[in-house]
């Protein structure tokens, strides 16, 4: 708790100091322009990287796997986006590190190494309900017509 309080005091002081020094070196309006430019670039990077991570998560779900790594990367992306929208150069640098795929994946691995993910079924009184859903194998969906093994859902009626 004290760490967070210290963080919320130290980071703004560092940001103000850096903004003042940059403003004195290149001028106030150029400094404001750089802050706005970094936010614009960051939002566009966030959109691209977020869509890429979402696509990878969907691929894993379609393959019947839990997209745990992609979910953690999504959280890192959200934190990076928030840091990029916060005015200042120090938070922008940290935010860009959250958006770069190599550093984002490294951060996600660090976060995941500190937590244990446990998947549980939603069982109430009947233990067979959850197990039957988790052990059933579904064939992949094919949009290019039917292939052997596909399940086709439909209604029929018998005509004599």
Strand (E) or helix (H) holding 138: none
Enumerate long-range contacts of 63-70, CB under 8 Å, 24 or more apart.
Answer: 63/140, 64/137, 64/138, 66/117, 66/119, 68/112, 68/117, 69/105, 69/108, 69/109, 69/112
**Domains of the chain by residue range:** 2-115
Helix spans in 115-159 (H): 127-135
**Is 24's pLDDT higher than 70?**
yes
**Is 141's pLDDT higher than 90?**
no
Q: CA-to-CA distance for 60 and 66, rounded, in angstroms?
A: 7
Q: How confident is the model at residue 122 (pLDDT cuts 50, 70, 90)?
A: very low
Q: CA-to-CA distance for 56 and 76, rounded, in angstroms?
A: 15
Terminal alpha carbon distance of the chain: 77
Closest C-alpha to 52, from 128, 129, 105: 105
**Is 47's pLDDT higher than 70?**
yes
Structure confidence at residue 89 (pLDDT): 92
Q: What is the pLDDT of residues 85-121, one digit of tens each?
A: 888 999 999 999 998 889 988 998 888 887 765 544 4
Distances (CA, A) of 34 to 11, 14, 93, 112, 143: 19, 17, 13, 34, 47
**Is 139's pLDDT higher than 60?**
no
Structure confidence at residue 123 (pLDDT): 44
Structure confidence at residue 151 (pLDDT): 67
Residue 26 CB contacts under 8 Å (≥ 6 apart), including other chains? 34
């Amino acid at each position: 708790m004290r760490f967070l309080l210290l963080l919320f005091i130290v980071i703004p002081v560092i940001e103000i100091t850096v903004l003042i020094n940059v403003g004195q070196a290149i001028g106030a309006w150029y400094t404001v322009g750089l802050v706005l430019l970094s936010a614009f670039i960051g939002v566009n990077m966030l959109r691209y990287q977020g869509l890429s991570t979402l696509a990878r998560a969907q691929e894993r779900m379609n393959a019947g796997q839990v997209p745990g790594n992609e979910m953690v990367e999504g959280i890192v992306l959200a934190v990076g986006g928030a840091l990029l929208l916060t005015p200042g150069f120090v938070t922008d640098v940290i935010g860009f590190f959250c958006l770069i795929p190599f550093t984002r994946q490294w951060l996600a691995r660090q976060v995941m190494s500190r937590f244990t993910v446990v998947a549980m079924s939603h069982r109430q009184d009947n233990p067979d309900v959850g197990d039957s859903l988790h052990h059933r194998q579904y064939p992949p969906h094919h949009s290019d017509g039917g292939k052997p093994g596909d399940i086709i859902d439909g209604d029929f009626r018998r005509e004599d």
